[in-house]
């Protein structure tokens, strides 16, 4: 009796368990299925989100209808013993760049520069903006047509294609605030005209050729006083030597300036990067001939600059010479420069620079300048 | 208690070390569109492309260059391997080329590797670099690996 009762209860419990099992497993299976479904949905949603983000980026690339604004600025403090010059702060530049892709092959690029602490007004009536309050200039303004990646036509105002420093001179990206002496003496800083740029590869070198016709020296604006147009060109070759880079080339400009002086300018440049070590040097000379005069004279300049990068630091040294009339050594000017840069980022650099100015002419007093500066690049560069 | 703390710190440090070394050891691959006839590319050509000195492929197709954001570790690894130069130095070079109006074919910076793969898969002349693990994920079709950087 007891056994029968026990077996009955046992059978009932067993049946109960047997029936209950699937009812416990079912919700678990269901949960697993739900989790799997959610996972798949999540993956699909993530993929959709990525596609939407990419589509958004593509749209921003393909449209390119917006004007892009960028620029740079540099501020410095100068300590100097130059006679008549006090130690001073200087808002050297604020340059704004505007660019826009007009069509697939057409684009516009411009640079408006405020230099020397530009102020529109001065408290002193005799002050001019240029003399004491800095200046405002359009440094570049180009309408560019690029029918193929290697070919570009540019019409407007451009940096005169000559050598290295005349083009690559912007304070956030060069080690010194002071420029080599011959700059803007032998070749004009910028030119108004038409420029053709063609790039091709030959014998393991990349060749960049530029030719241009412009108003020439002394005629940067709309008042071209010279009778003819100036013609110039630049050839630049870059080649890899092992893992290092060698760049070299030559430039030429034939022009008549606004005083009627016929000038032929020549320049040779060389740049070599050996890992962290950089060497850059340029030699420029100009033949000056007054129209109708039988004699002519040459002015010339040269600099050699070495740089060494150590992590965020750059050390630089430069030897610089210029002679405004080679007929006499009394016109020799020299600048010896040493500089230390600290790159906070690729767009912010602090610099300390020492320049010693020496003159062959005893009537000109030698002097030094120490410059502490901060240069920053702005916008999407 | 002190022992447990020391063990925890040691474990965290070990994890960080392993994670760091795993990332650093991830290879970088150069990808192009699958329609690109180029099958292999060397460091010298890569340097030319990423330095604005090679603008077209051998068949004449214009090259579109894709790059990652300046502080991306994969980008840093790419520039250290190909140029032996920090990524920021290259960013400086491009910024200078752009403001002097000398840049012919500047790289297009995108936010992540997924986008590089997506863009390269859609443009015939495009080139980019991603980590091997991203390339292996197989998320995007239409790509071809033409170099693996050690």
The predicted pLDDT at position A46 comes to 77
The C-alpha of A29 sits at a distance from chain B's nearest C-alpha, in angstroms, of 30
- Note the pLDDT of residue B21: 37
Find, in chain B, the residue whose alpha carbon is nearest to that of A98: B99
Cβ–Cβ contact A57 with B under 8 A:
yes
**What whole-number distance in Å separates Cα of residue A311 and Cα of residue A341?**
11
Q: Edge to edge, what strands does the sheet with B126-131 contain?
A: B108-110, B64-68, B126-131, B28-33, B143-149
Mean pLDDT, chain B, whole residue set: 84
Nearest chain B residue (CA) to A96: B99
pLDDT by residue (tens digit) across A61-71? 555 568 899 99
Inter-chain Cβ pairs, chain A and chain B, closer than 8 A:
90
Q: Give the pLDDT confidence of A209-226 residue by residue, as tens digits.
A: 999 999 876 655 555 566
Quote the minimal CA–CA distance from A8 to chain B in Å: 56
User: How far, in Å, CA of B88 to CA of A347, rounded?
Assistant: 9
Residue identified by tokens 């230099």 is: A115
Q: With cut-offs at 50, 70 and 90, classify the pLDDT of residue A351.
A: very high
CB contact under 8 A, B99 and A72: yes
SS3 of residue B121 by DSSP: helix
- B15 secondary structure, DSSP code: H
CB contact under 8 A, A206 and B53: yes
Q: What is the pLDDT of residue A20?
A: 55
A57 and B44 in contact by Cβ < 8 A?
A: no
CB contact under 8 A, A54 and B102: no
Confidence class for position A34, pLDDT limits 50, 70, 90: confident
For A344, how many CA atoms within 13 A lie in the half-sphere containing its CB?
10
**pLDDT given at position B18:** 35
Residue A245 has pLDDT above 70, yes or no: yes
For the segment A315-325, the average pLDDT, to the nearest whole number, is: 96
**In whole angstroms, what is the distance from residue A109 CA to residue A287 CA?**
33
Across residues A257-286, what is the average pLDDT? 91
For residue range A149-206, what is the model confidence (pLDDT) as tens digits? 999 999 999 999 999 999 999 999 999 999 999 887 899 888 999 999 999 988 889 9
pLDDT of residue A291: 75
Q: What is the pLDDT of residue A281?
A: 98
- C-alpha distance from B102 to closest chain A C-alpha (Å): 9
Chain A CB within 8 Å of residue B112 CB: no
């Amino acid at each position: 009796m007891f056994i029968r009762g026990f077996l009955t209860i046992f059978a009932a419990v067993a049946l109960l368990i047997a029936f209950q099992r699937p009812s416990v497993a079912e919700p678990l299976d269901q949960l697993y299925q739900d989790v799997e479904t959610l996972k798949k949905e999540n993956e699909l949603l993530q993929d959709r989100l990525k596609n939407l983000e990419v589509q958004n980026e593509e749209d921003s690339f393909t449209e390119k209808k917006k004007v892009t604004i960028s620029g740079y600025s540099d501020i410095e403090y100068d300590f100097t013993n130059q006679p008549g010059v006090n130690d001073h702060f200087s808002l050297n530049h604020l340059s704004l760049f505007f660019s826009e892709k007009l069509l697939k092959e057409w684009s516009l690029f411009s640079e408006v520069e405020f230099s020397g602490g530009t102020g529109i007004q001065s408290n002193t009536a005799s002050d001019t903006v240029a003399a004491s309050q800095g200046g405002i200039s359009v440094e570049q303004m180009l309408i560019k047509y690029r029918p193929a990646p290697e070919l570009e036509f540019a019409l407007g105002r451009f940096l005169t294609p000559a050598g290295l420093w005349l083009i690559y001179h912007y304070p956030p990206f060069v080690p010194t605030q002071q420029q080599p002496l011959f700059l803007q003496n032998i070749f004009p800083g910028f030119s108004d005209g038409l420029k053709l740029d063609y790039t091709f590869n030959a014998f393991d070198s990349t060749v960049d050729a530029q030719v241009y016709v412009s108003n020439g020296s002394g005629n940067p604006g709309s008042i071209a006083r010279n009778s003819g147009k100036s013609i110039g060109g630049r050839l630049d070759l870059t080649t890899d030597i092992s893992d290092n880079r060698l760049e070299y080339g030559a430039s030429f400009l034939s022009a008549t300036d606004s005083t009627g002086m016929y000038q032929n300018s020549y320049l040779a440049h060389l740049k070599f990067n050996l890992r962290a070590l950089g060497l850059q040097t340029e030699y420029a000379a100009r033949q000056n001939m007054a129209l109708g005069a039988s004699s002519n004279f040459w002015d010339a300049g040269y600099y050699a600059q070495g740089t060494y990068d150590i992590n965020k630091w750059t050390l630089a040294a430069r030897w610089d010479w210029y002679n405004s009339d080679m007929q006499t050594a009394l016109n020799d000017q020299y600048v010896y420069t040493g500089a230390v840069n600290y790159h906070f980022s690729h767009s912010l650099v602090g610099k300390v620079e020492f320049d010693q100015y020496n003159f062959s002419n005893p009537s000109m007093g030698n002097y030094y300048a120490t410059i502490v500066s901060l240069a920053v690049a702005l916008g999407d560069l | 208690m002190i022992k447990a703390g020391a063990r925890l710190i040691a474990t965290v440090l070990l994890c960080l070390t392993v994670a760091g070394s795993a990332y650093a050891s991830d290879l970088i691959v150069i990808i192009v569109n699958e329609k690109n006839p180029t099958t292999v590319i060397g460091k010298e050509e890569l340097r030319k492309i990423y330095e604005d000195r090679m603008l077209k492929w051998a068949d004449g197709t214009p090259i579109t260059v894709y790059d990652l954001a300046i502080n991306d570790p994969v980008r840093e690894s790419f520039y250290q391997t190909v140029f032996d130069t920090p990524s920021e130095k290259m960013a400086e070079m491009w910024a200078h080329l752009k403001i002097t109006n000398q840049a012919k074919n500047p790289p297009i910076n995108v936010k992540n590797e997924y986008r590089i793969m997506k863009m390269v898969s859609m443009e015939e002349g495009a080139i980019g670099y991603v980590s091997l693990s991203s390339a292996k994920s197989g998320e995007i079709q239409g790509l071809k690996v033409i170099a693996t950087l050690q």
